[in-house]
Structure 1
Amino acid sequence: MRVGIEDVTVEAAGRRLVEDVRLTVEPGAFVGLVGPNGSGKSTLLRCVYRALRPAAGMVRLDGDDLHAMDARAAARLLAALPQESSAEFDYTVAEVVAMGRTPHRDRTAAADREIRERAMARTGVAHLADRGFLALSGGEKQRVLMARALAQQPRVLVLDEPTNHLDIAHQLDVLSLVRDSGLTVLAALHDLNLAAAHCDLLYVVCEGRIVACGPPHDVLRPQLLAEVFGVRAHRVRHPETGALRLLFDLLPPTT
């Protein structure tokens, strides 16, 4: 399923947080949003998963206006893992993951259970099924919420910092899972090396605008990283795979 963001502008308290953003995620692609804190990445993603309505512009799924869809119909197509999630009641992990089945009308208990268990197994949380969600660590919660999104069986997955709270092994595992899912994926990522390793295409966001777009190798260049992130970047190659890796230090002080 193709995602199209067309001239989206978001305003709040008299300020433009996102301005005239256009981007495309082709079916089955993994596209990353990268940029410094406060650049507008999360605000843009909130428009995509319908938590915000843009002041101007449109988000389309295969050409259809996402915000004009019925909420249940939209949820059958798109699942989201926001940066912050809260729960007021201490549901079990199995109950939280089962919530992903809510948008589907043609459900049976047996089918729901099979899909839920498969999602928990894929994200490595099956052993937590009977644990209370509120008692979990941050990393465990993140993987449970990923399982819930997968149990929703969407065609589009929107992720806002999906590796937050995860240790290195689980960061690599979750992004590899997303990469291999076959879903259309739009994700905001802080770690530029993870973005380079897993994304087909990167959009660089700065002060609410897209300032660069392309394959990671073409986008993540020292001059752009200095201008956008304020760091000096050194491009190196992974000793085994040859993939792009970045080393960082502070820019030297100007005189």
Structure 2
Amino acid sequence: MRLDIDEVTIEASGTRLVEDIRLTVDSGAFVGLVGPNGSGKSTLLRCVYRGLRPAGGAVRLDGDDLHTMDPRAAARVLAALPQDSAAQFDFTVAEVVAMGRLPHRDRTATSDREICARAMARTGVAHLADRGVLGLSGGERQRVLIARALAQQPRVLVLDEPTNHLDIAHQLDLLSRVRDSGLTVLAALHDLNLAAAHCDVLYVIDGGRIVSSGPPHDVLRPALLKAVFGVRAHRVHHPGTGAVQLLFDLPTPTTP
């Protein structure tokens, strides 16, 4: 399923937060959204998963306006992991993951259990099924929420900083599984090296606008990284995969 963000503008309290964003995620592609803090990444993703309405433009799934779809129908094709997914009640892990099945009408107890069990196994949380989520570590809770999204059986997955709280092994495992899932994926990522290693295409957002897009090796150039992130970047290539990787330091201060 193809996702298009078509000239989307988002406003709040009279302030324009995101302006005229055009972004495409082809069916089955893994697209990364990167940019500094406050650039508009999370705001844009909230619009994609219907947390906000655009002031202009549209979010389209295979050409259909997502914001005019029936909410239940939309939830059957698009799942999201927001950045602020704090648990408020001490449901068990199994109960939280099962919430991903709620949009589906053709459910049976047996099919729900099987789908949830597969989702928990894929994210490495099956052994936590009977634990309360409030007693989990941040990384464990993050993997439970990803399992819930997978149990929803979407065709499009929207992730806002999905590697938060995860150790490096789980970061690599999660992004590899997402990449190999066959889903259409749009993810906001802080770690540029993870984005470079796993994403097919990157969009760089700064000040609420897209300033660059393309394959990671074309986008992650020292001049752009200095202008957008305020860092000096040195490009190297991963010895195993050949993917662009970056070493950073702060620019040398200029003498007045």
Verify same fold: TM over 0.5.
yes
- Alpha-carbon distance between aligned partners in 1 of 2:16 and 2:140, rounded to the nearest angstrom: 35
1:133: which partner in 2?
A: 133
Instruction: List aligned pairs for 1:106-185, cutoff 5 A.
Output: 106-185=106-185
Give a deviation string over 1:170-205, Cα, whole Å, max 9, x none: 000100110010000000000000000000000000
CA-based RMSD of the aligned residues comes to 0.6
Residue deviations 1:67-97 (CA, integer Å, cap 9, x gap): 0011100000000000011222210000000
What SS is found at the alignment partner of 2:170? Answer: helix
Instruction: Give, in whole Å, the separation in 2 of the partners of 1:234 and 1:142.
Output: 31
Q: Which residue pairs with 2:10 in the alignment?
A: 10
Tell me the equivalent position of 1:252.
252
Are 1:213 and 2:250 matched, yes or no? no
Unaligned 5+ segments in structure 1 are none
Q: Which amino acid aligns with 1:96?
A: V
Deviation string for 1:127-154 (max 9, x for gaps)?
0000001111100010000000000000
Q: Deviations over 1:95-138 (max 9, x none)?
A: 00000000000000000000000000000000000000111110
Whole-Å separation in 1 of the counterparts to 2:133 and 2:241: 38
User: 2:240 and 2:188 mapped to 1: Cα distance?
Assistant: 27
Indicate the residue corresponding to 1:34 in structure 2.
34
Deviation at 1:237, TM superposition (A): 1.2
Q: Which residue does 1:72 correspond to in 2?
A: 72
Question: What CA deviation, in whole Å up to 9, does each residue of 1:221-248 have, x standing for no partner?
Answer: 0000000000000000112322211000
CA distance in 2, matches of 1:62, 1:116: 27
Query: SS where residue 52 of structure 1 aligns?
Result: coil
* Counterpart code for 2:242: G
TM-score scaled by length of structure 1: 0.99
CA distance in 1, matches of 2:88, 2:14: 32
Q: TM-score, normalised by structure 2?
A: 0.99
- Give the counterpart letter for 1:57 in structure 2: G
Letter in 2 for 1:218: D
What is the alpha-carbon distance in structure 2 between the residues aligned to residue 71 and residue 166 of structure 1?
A: 31
Q: Residues 37-79 of structure 1: CA distance to partner in whole angstroms, max 9, x if unpaired?
A: 0000000000000000011110000000000011100000000
Q: Tell me, what secondary structure is at the counterpart of 1:59? A: strand
Q: Which residue of 2 aligns with 1:192?
A: 192
Give the Cα–Cα distance (whole angstroms) in 2 for the partners of residues 204 and 242 of structure 1. 22
Letter of the structure 2 residue corresponding to residue 165 of structure 1: H
For 1:242 and 1:58, the matched residues in 2 are separated by 37
Partners of 1:147 and 1:28 in 2: CA distance: 19
One-letter amino acid matched to 2:25: V
